[in-house]
Amino acid sequence: MKTGSIMDMFEQGKVLKICAPMVRYSKLAFRSLVRKYNCDICFTPMIVATDFLRSVKARDSEFTTNERDRPLIVQFAAHDAQTLADAACVVAPFSDGVDLNCGCPQRWAMSSGYGACLINKPELVKDMVRHIRNQVDNPNYTASIKIRIHKDLRRTVDLCQKAESAGVSWITVHGRTAEERHQPVHYDAIKTIKDSVSVPVIANGDIKYLRDVESTHQLTGVDGVMAARGLLANPAMFAGYEDTPLQCIWDWVDFSIEQGTPFTCFHHHLIYMLERVSSQPERKVFNSLSSTSSVIEYLQNTYGTVQDIET
């Protein structure tokens, strides 16, 4: 992955397919898996910038990568510009950009001044973007933001235009307000934002199948789409599979073992992947398994190995 190519990717005119930052889930092994199935850009889980800077242990547990893990965006939660810029400088040699989380609606994040409460502080967001731009020594390194929308969309447009004036590289819009959870995505709002800035805009929310990528693009004109739950349920979604193919399940086993994924994480991902393809009694048995070897044995007995399909 040559430097500079994230912005070049937007220039190529195809709708980029992006794996969202997911707490506990979008770690290295999972990023390796979705990249194998046509994911263009991956995000790390959200990392709290102050903790990251304060402790080597936090850095080691929160941020693992390898040379194939590109293009990679590191997402930070922060509420002051210098801390964010310092954290960006630490990860810059190992990634292609940083993203400021302005969308997390969880109560702990909002009460600490992180996440979605930042959409109400456009001047601060502007300052934070400008600090990254000024302090990371690589002109091709991206500084992006991921936001939710306001009920009054004029405030969201104002936020995005201020971020643009500070040099934001691109903006991801989750098409819901901070209060909304499973309500329909406001595609009209995403389109309005796309039409009001000249930097690339990514749409996020309710991408469950490859066809949703195209329909979202048609509705909004965005430059890319970001999926979270859709990729958890089917990491091969961007390659056009309707459900998780068996090959993808075994690829996950391989990546997990190779990278030493903790059992709970390994198991949880499989619970998501098998949800649409297994029956209630099967799920009950699978969810109760408690070791990697019992999981592998179960998968072999229930679904067979990839070689079985090919013969």
21 marked ligand binding residue: yes
Q: Is 184 annotated as a binding residue?
A: no
Nearest CA to 75 among 86, 84, 67, 83?
84
78: annotated binding-site residue? no
Tokens of 10: 């937007």
97, 52, 48, 55: which is closest to 74 by C-alpha? Answer: 97
24 is in an annotated binding site: no
How far is it, in rounded angstroms, from Cα 45 to Cα 274?
A: 22
Active site residues: 104
157 marked as part of a ligand binding site: no
* Cα-based angle 206, 66, 265 (whole degrees, multiple of 5): 50
Question: What number of residues does the chain have?
Answer: 311
104 CB-contact burial (10 Å; exposed 0-12 / middle 13-18 / buried 19+): buried
Question: Is 163 assigned to a binding site?
Answer: no
Q: Is 237 assigned to a binding site?
A: no
Residue of 188, 186, 164 whose CA lies nearest to 174:
186
Binding site as annotated, residues for FMN? 21-23, 75, 174, 228-229
Binding site as annotated, residues? 21-23, 75, 174, 228-229
